[in-house]
């Protein structure tokens, strides 16, 4: 009897380990494929040049337009999200809103975070149509802001919520107002978490394609004004992989590698930076 049960135990443990190995090996496979395919195609010209004539037939040029465009889009959206999101994260705290209101808004934000980015893209498109604006960097940034704002607010909200009450009480006892305490004590204590949230949001923003498909457009030129269309890395990959010309497909691989490197660096960077900043605060 016990033998059979021990055997069952071992069988399921084996299944678990195999499952986990499967998941991890898929990750490794993705990283490997992109590196192996992308590395040979990645060179200085790819990074520094914009598409030249005949680029889409395999001639000279690079994807500098997409790199710069993506950095602008994700950077702009992250900045806007931070400006709007930090006050929102504070507004969710019990000093500023009732438990119920905060609870409902948290729920709404979680649901918004789950809304597909293609829906945000469609909504952005509707608004731009209504205003008579064509696909532009501004449109892309605003739509992307909608995509990453809920995530950023909730991430910041969680770290701000973790600030111990005792710490705030010390500040109140010293005569500071709620807002002064928020700025001087809470913000400083939560800063590592907030930095992590911001960097991760940037990572999410730069990888998103569906939201900017309608709203940011695409162009072979470097962005000059926020009202002009702008290229982006995800869309560069998407468009170039669809062509039948091998040289152009090569560039999709290179763009994918570049995007992956950015995302990896962002992911690792947020962790390292978060930990480094966390040294200065008490836990």
Q: Considering only residues 192-251, where is the footprint of another protein by CB under 8 A?
A: 200, 203-204, 206-210, 213-214, 234-235, 237-238, 241
Helix or strand or coil: residue 283?
A: coil
Question: Does residue number 134 form part of the binding site for another protein (CB under 8 A)?
Answer: no
Residues 30-59 contacting another protein, CB under 8 A = 30, 33-34, 37
Smallest gap from residue 186 Cβ to another protein (A)? 13
Closest CA to 93 of 174, 156, 149: 156
Question: Does residue number 60 form part of the binding site for another protein (CB under 8 A)?
Answer: no
Q: How many residues bind another protein (CB under 8 A)?
A: 92
Question: Does residue number 273 form part of the binding site for another protein (CB under 8 A)?
Answer: no
Burial of 241 per CB tally in 10 Å (0-12, 13-18, 19+) = middle
Smallest gap from residue 22 Cβ to another protein (A)? 6
Q: Which stretch binds another protein (CB under 8 A): 42-50, 105-113, 159-167, 189-197?
A: 105-113
Count how many Cα atoms sit within 13 Å of the Cα of residue 88 in the half-sphere of its side chain: 18
Q: C-alpha distances in angstroms, 123 versus 3, 26, 143, 167, 226?
A: 60, 34, 8, 42, 19
Which residues, at least 6 apart from 34, have a Cβ–Cβ distance to it below 8 Å? 253, 256, 257, 260
Smallest gap from residue 228 Cβ to another protein (A)? 18
Q: Which of 80, 127, 133, 167 binds another protein (CB under 8 A)?
A: 127
What DSSP character marks residue 97?
A: S
Size of the chain, expressed as the number of residues it contains: 283
x/- track of binding to another protein for residues 136-165 (CB under 8 A): ----------x------x------------
Task: State the DSSP H helix or E strand holding residue 98, giving kind and residue range, or none if neither.
Answer: none
Q: Which stretch binds another protein (CB under 8 A): 43-51, 52-60, 93-101, 273-281?
A: 93-101
CB-wise, 29 or 53, nearer to another protein?
Answer: 29
Closest CA to 201 of 267, 124, 135, 249: 267
Question: Does residue number 5 form part of the binding site for another protein (CB under 8 A)?
Answer: yes
Question: Does residue number 108 form part of the binding site for another protein (CB under 8 A)?
Answer: yes
Q: Which of 43, 59, 110, 280 binds another protein (CB under 8 A)?
A: 110
CB-wise, 7 or 45, nearer to another protein?
Answer: 7
Question: Does residue number 115 form part of the binding site for another protein (CB under 8 A)?
Answer: yes
Question: Does residue number 173 form part of the binding site for another protein (CB under 8 A)?
Answer: no
Question: Does residue number 125 form part of the binding site for another protein (CB under 8 A)?
Answer: yes
Q: C-alpha distances in angstroms, 37 versus 20, 66, 171, 184, 249?
A: 26, 19, 56, 50, 10
Q: Which stretch binds another protein (CB under 8 A): 10-18, 39-47, 56-64, 156-164?
A: 10-18
Q: C-alpha distances in angstroms, 147 versus 140, 202, 232?
A: 11, 11, 16
């Amino acid at each position: 009897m016990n033998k059979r049960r021990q055997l069952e135990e071992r069988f399921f443990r084996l299944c678990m380990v195999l499952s986990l190995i499967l998941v991890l090996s898929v990750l490794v496979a993705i990283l490997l494929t992109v590196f192996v395919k992308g590395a040979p195609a990645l060179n200085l010209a790819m990074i520094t040049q914009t598409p030249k004539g005949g680029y889409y037939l395999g001639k000279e040029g690079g994807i500098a337009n997409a790199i710069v465009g993506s950095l602008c889009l994700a950077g702009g959206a992250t900045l806007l999200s931070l400006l709007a999101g930090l006050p929102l994260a504070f507004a969710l705290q019990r000093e500023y809103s009732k438990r119920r209101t905060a609870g409902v808004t948290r729920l709404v934000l979680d649901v918004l975070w789950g809304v597909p980015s293609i829906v945000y893209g469609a909504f952005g498109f509707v608004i731009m149509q209504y205003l008579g604006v064509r696909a532009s960097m501004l449109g892309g940034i605003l739509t992307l802001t909608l995509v990453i704002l809920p995530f950023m607010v909730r991430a910041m909200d969680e770290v701000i919520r973790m600030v111990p009450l005792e710490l705030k009480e010390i500040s109140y006892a010293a005569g500071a107002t709620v807002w002064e305490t928020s700025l001087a004590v809470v913000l400083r204590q939560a800063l590592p978490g907030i930095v992590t949230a911001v960097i991760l949001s940037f990572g999410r923003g730069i990888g998103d394609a569906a939201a900017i498909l309608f709203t940011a457009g695409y162009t072979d030129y470097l962005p000059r004004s926020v009202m002009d269309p702008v290229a982006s890395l995800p869309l560069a990959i998407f468009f170039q992989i669809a062509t039948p010309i091998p040289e152009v497909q090569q560039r999709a691989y290179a763009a994918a590698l570049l995007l992956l490197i950015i995302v990896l660096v962002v992911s690792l960077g947020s962790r390292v930076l978060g930990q480094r900043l966390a040294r200065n605060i008490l836990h």
